[in-house]
Amino acid sequence: MTTFRRDGSDSPRWRALSLLVMVVLLSSACSRVPGLVTQYEYDETVNLSLDRSATVYVNGSIPALVALHGLDLDPDPMARFDSARIRRLYTAPGVTVRQITGSRRNARRFLHITLDVDDVGRLQGVAPLSWSRYQFDRVGDEYVFVQSIHGAPARDAPGVKWTGRELVAFRLHLPSRVLFHNAPAHHLRRGNIVLWEQTLADRLAAAPARFEVRLETQSILYRTLLIFVLTFLGAVATLAIIAWAAMRQGRKAAAVADGSQRA
């Protein structure tokens, strides 16, 4: 039979209140982590490799794509989008569209586009991304990545009223540890992810932006594998030493026993 404590701590009302407090505290904690719960009207993420190839994720509301890139799309959240047409817009020499999906948020339709590019410098050949110039080269004992953004079509999205609080973001996932970046200090995450933010209003006003990162020449994957191998070899060596010590101790014990028997 279910029993309840007199202080009421096991009552449904108490449990609901406790859950609400936990959710509020968790939300407050998450809001302090850049990019974790922040919702962007438009964002680009570049997963870069040392061989200059990259996977790029473009996420944005259709009104933002219309306003920022001048795309001829219907901003009506109930309108269907032509995925074949969007694929053509984002395809360029050395750039292929892997996936296009859609979603809805804040009464707007969003597009999520995944691109594969064999050389990050080719991204500027993609019409909607032609506002950027990408440079990625080795300079001495480090790699230097620079993305410069100049201008935007700043078209009107019919029927959409911006609040002025909309944000755009540019993320860079790097294969090596970051040595320098010009983003705010708290926008470096896990040692190899850098985040830059702008307001949509600034981007529509064609405010110039320059993102720079310098990184180590040795990939994090290589270092991780090296640490794993060294750890494994260390564990094997430790086991071998323990086994050798046990065998040696056993021989000594056997020798002592044999001497005692002869005596």
Claim to verify: residue 47 and residue 175 sit in the same structural domain? yes
Q: Give CA–CA dist 215/175, Å, rounded.
A: 9
Q: Quote the tokens at residue 164.
A: 């002025």
pLDDT in tens, 225-244: 434 444 544 565 676 677 76
Claim to verify: residue 127 and residue 246 sit in the same structural domain? no
Question: Does residue 71 or residue 224 have the better pLDDT?
Answer: 71
- Residue 94, domain member (yes or no): yes
- Residue 1, domain member (yes or no): no
Claim to verify: residue 197 and residue 236 sit in the same structural domain? no
- Residue 116, domain member (yes or no): yes
Claim to verify: residue 54 and residue 140 sit in the same structural domain? yes
Phi, psi (deg, nearest 5) at residue 232: -65, -45
How many structural domains compose the chain? 2
* Per-residue pLDDT, 257: 64
Name the band, by pLDDT with cuts 50, 70 and 90, for residue 98: very high
pLDDT of 87 above 80: yes
Q: Quote the tokens at residue 63.
A: 């009104």
Other CB atoms within 10 Å distance of the CB of residue 155: 16
Claim to verify: residue 175 and residue 245 sit in the same structural domain? no
Query: Which residue is listed with tokens 């406790």?
Result: 18
Claim to verify: residue 230 and residue 214 sit in the same structural domain? no
Domain containing 225: what range? 221-252
Claim to verify: residue 66 and residue 157 sit in the same structural domain? yes
* Per-residue pLDDT, 182: 96
* Per-residue pLDDT, 259: 64
**Residue 50 contacts residue 144 (beta carbons within 8 Å):** no
- Residue 112, domain member (yes or no): yes
Claim to verify: residue 167 and residue 231 sit in the same structural domain? no
* Per-residue pLDDT, 230: 41
The fraction of the chain above a pLDDT of 70, given in percent, is 70
- Residue 70, domain member (yes or no): yes
Question: What's the chain's average pLDDT?
Answer: 81
Model pTM score:
0.70
250-258: which pairs have CB atoms within 8 A and are 24 or more residues apart? none
Claim to verify: residue 135 and residue 231 sit in the same structural domain? no
- Residue 198, domain member (yes or no): yes
Claim to verify: residue 75 and residue 149 sit in the same structural domain? yes
Claim to verify: residue 203 and residue 227 sit in the same structural domain? no
Mean pLDDT value of segment 16-30: 55
For residue 61, give the nearest of 128, 194, 157, 132 by alpha carbon.
Answer: 157
- Residue 69, domain member (yes or no): yes
Claim to verify: residue 47 and residue 118 sit in the same structural domain? yes
